Structure 1
Amino acid sequence: TMGTRLKVLSVFKKLHRTRVDVFKDDTRALTAARFKINEEFKKNKNETSEENIEKMIKMGSDVEAVLRETVLQVEHVEENKLLLRPRDGLLLENVPYCDEPRKKS
């Protein structure tokens, strides 16, 4: 249906926008992610089962959320130094790493 087609297109566009944001300035990652997104959509372009298409739309949305919320971009700046390149909405709570479990307050 036309509604389903629009949902598929919407997820496709959102994945590509997120790809550009998440892998900014990283040509290799941008290219690999573009190839993978396009390949997955092409592979399933002849799917006719509404149920399967809905499942794939959900999966595409889940993948987009994982990319947006959990992928960190880190730059190697010195031999033993990494620089985190933050993005809006990525780290909502910045807690220093500690081997000990956090005490409940």
Structure 2
Amino acid sequence: MSTRLKVLRVFKTLHRTRLAVFKDDENAMTAARLKINEEFRKNKSETSEENIQKMIKMGSDVEVVLRETVLQMEHVGKDTLVLRPRESLLLENVPYCDQPRKKS
């Protein structure tokens, strides 16, 4: 696959992730869009294949961090926040047991 296609794929993936992660938060979506576009524009004239590959890797890593670690919270009162996790972040957990296991 050509380098140009890889760059475009990372760009598109970052924007899709931005839409999912910051859903219903217009300020965060706008700020993320501006930052993604700014970073890609800043490096638009890069010609070194090695540097381009490093930036592609960094963009992919940023996308993973956004997708796997960012949570949305909303202020609903003076000292109250509501957590709105995405389905992809809700993992099956091992049930907690108060009773210690019996030794056999």
Task: Settle same-fold status: TM greater than 0.5.
Answer: yes
Q: Residue deviations 1:2-38, cap 9 Å, x none?
A: 6110000000000000001111111111111000000
Q: Aligned partners of 1:24, 1:90: CA distance in 2, in Å?
A: 14
The answer to which of 77-86 and 10-19 deviates more is 77-86
Q: Aligned partners of 1:81, 1:45: CA distance in 2, in Å?
A: 43
Q: Aligned partners of 1:92, 1:74: CA distance in 2, in Å?
A: 18
Match of 1:33 in 2: 32
Match of 1:79 in 2: 78
1:46 positional shift: 0.8
Q: Aligned partners of 1:94, 1:22: CA distance in 2, in Å?
A: 22
1:63 positional shift: 0.4
Q: Aligned partners of 2:59, 2:91: CA distance in 1, in Å?
A: 23
1:82 positional shift: 1.5
Runs of 4+ in 1 over 6 A off after TM superposition: none
| 1:12 maps to 2:11 | yes
Q: Aligned partners of 1:94, 1:81: CA distance in 2, in Å?
A: 26
- TM-score, normalised relative to structure 1: 0.82
Match of 1:69 in 2: 68
Q: Aligned partners of 1:5, 1:91: CA distance in 2, in Å?
A: 35
Q: Aligned partners of 1:49, 1:32: CA distance in 2, in Å?
A: 29
Say which one has the larger Rg: 2
Q: Aligned partners of 1:4, 1:93: CA distance in 2, in Å?
A: 38
The alignment covers a number of residue pairs equal to 95
The answer to which of 84-93 and 31-40 deviates more is 84-93
Q: Residue deviations 1:41-91, cap 9 Å, x none?
A: 000011111100000000000000110001110111223322111112124
Q: Which runs of no fewer than 5 residues in structure 1 stay unpaired?
A: 96-104
SS in 2 for 1:24: coil
